[in-house]
Amino acid sequence: MDRLPLEGITVVSLEQAVAAPFATRQLADLGARVVKVERPGSGDFARGYDESVHGQSSYFVWLNRSKESVTLDVKSDGGREVLERLLGEADVFVQNLAPGAARRLGLGAAELAERHPSLIVCDISGYGTTGPWADRKAYDLLIQCETGVVSLTGSPEAPAKAGISIADIAAGMYAYSGILAALYERRASGVARPVEVTLFEALAEWMGSPAYYTAYSGTQPARTGAQHATIAPYGPYDASDGGTVLLAIQNEREWAAFCAVFLDDPALATDPRFHRNSARVARREELNAVVRARFAELTVAEAVSLLDRAKVAHAKLNSVAEFWEHPVLAGRDRWRDVATPGGTVRALLPPATPAGLTPRMGPVPAVGEHTEPVLRALGLDTAALAALRADGVL
């Protein structure tokens, strides 16, 4: 196998839950060695979220392949000494502990820079290490609420959260890209710059379009269920055979083709009620009545055939089980087998991989599986390991 881009890079992570593990798993996918430091006994608390994957947590299996698990009580003197030795050999340190915990352990970015000047430190938190909310706990749903996402999602009658952990995922993606940028900068200048990512600011970035719309129009986009709040027609429609098709009109050329081919009413394209997108949004219910009436005459197959002819983008409203068996994933050979302590699972290849390279798709570790080999590589002998175990450090 060809050398992966991050081979030779060592990452030490005091991580839990989703955001930091997502960032470090992507570094591992590209070849970095990731040493995941976990609590002795229970490990990362995300291991206990559920037991759905061969008795293991779905979150943990998704986020922790290709890592080495080391158990360490970092609140103890012995644990901090071992962690310090690990950091002395690392290129990157990632942490998403509770607010202020890293600082209390002497693991703040400024302190670490003094002891390990070539170490890139990435702090992931809810609201930042400074500012008025630095000490406030934050979880994904809370961030979705604070950024206004929940006020945009759901039906007119009731708001709803996104069905996946978008704040955590956003923060993990920015941590990953920030670390890559910092590694590039260190190589170019020799300077190891710290990276700070907050869940709030990561999701705030994703709120750009509705934020601009609200600030400059004076009106917040309405909650419209699975329909687009500011584009019409754009949403799900039920066909005569019980299936659901989502269509998306993006411009006036598509609208004209949709009217002519799908609705069989070319004149509707220039009807003053619907002649441009803002007019269609303003008369959404009137427009939807026309579109729904046409869908009621067609099966899913017939509707899809007409949408294809009109070159209008569309999709089937899939369940998660249908996504799991999606023909595009199979047709593009995106699945690989990954070992876990409970058995083999299917895992998707990472979305972005340099051409000609095969990403690492290593096993998901058991709690503390690599503690002894990692610590022996640091120079700790059998007696030292036994003493640490006796003290409850490992």
DSSP assignment of 155-186 equals: -SS-B---SS-HHHHHHHHHHHHHHHHHHHHH
pLDDT reading at 1 higher than 80: no
Expressed in percent and rounded to 5, the helix, strand and coil fractions of the chain are: 45, 15, 45
What confidence tens digit (pLDDT) does each residue in 368-392 have?
999 999 999 999 999 999 999 999 9
Report how far Cα 250 is from the mean position of its chain's Cα atoms.
Answer: 26
Neighbours of 167 (CB within 10 A): 31
Phi, psi of 36 (to 5 degrees): -95, 115
Phi, psi of 201 (to 5 degrees): -70, -30
- Tell me what pLDDT residue 209 has: 93
What confidence tens digit (pLDDT) does each residue in 271-286 have?
999 999 999 999 999 9
Average pLDDT over residues 330-354: 95
What confidence tens digit (pLDDT) does each residue in 295-334 have?
999 999 999 999 999 999 999 998 999 999 999 999 999 9
Phi, psi of 250 (to 5 degrees): -105, -20
- Tell me what pLDDT residue 354 has: 87
Instruction: Yes or no: say if 249 and 233 are a contact pair by the CB < 8 Å rule.
Output: yes
What confidence tens digit (pLDDT) does each residue in 183-203 have?
999 999 999 999 999 999 999
Query: What is the pTM assigned to this prediction?
Result: 0.91
Percentage of the chain exceeding pLDDT 90: 94
Q: Who contacts 373 (Cβ-Cβ below 8 Å, separation ≥6)? A: none
pLDDT reading at 216 higher than 90: yes
pLDDT reading at 269 higher than 70: yes
Instruction: Yes or no: say if 2 and 356 are a contact pair by the CB < 8 Å rule.
Output: yes
- Tell me what pLDDT residue 230 has: 87
Q: Which domains does the chain have, with CATH numbers?
A: 10-207+326-390 (3.40.50.10540), 234-316 (3.30.1540.10)
- Tell me what pLDDT residue 251 has: 94
Q: How far apart are CA 340 and CA 51, in angstroms?
A: 13
Q: What is the mean pLDDT of the chain?
A: 95
Average pLDDT over residues 165-176: 97
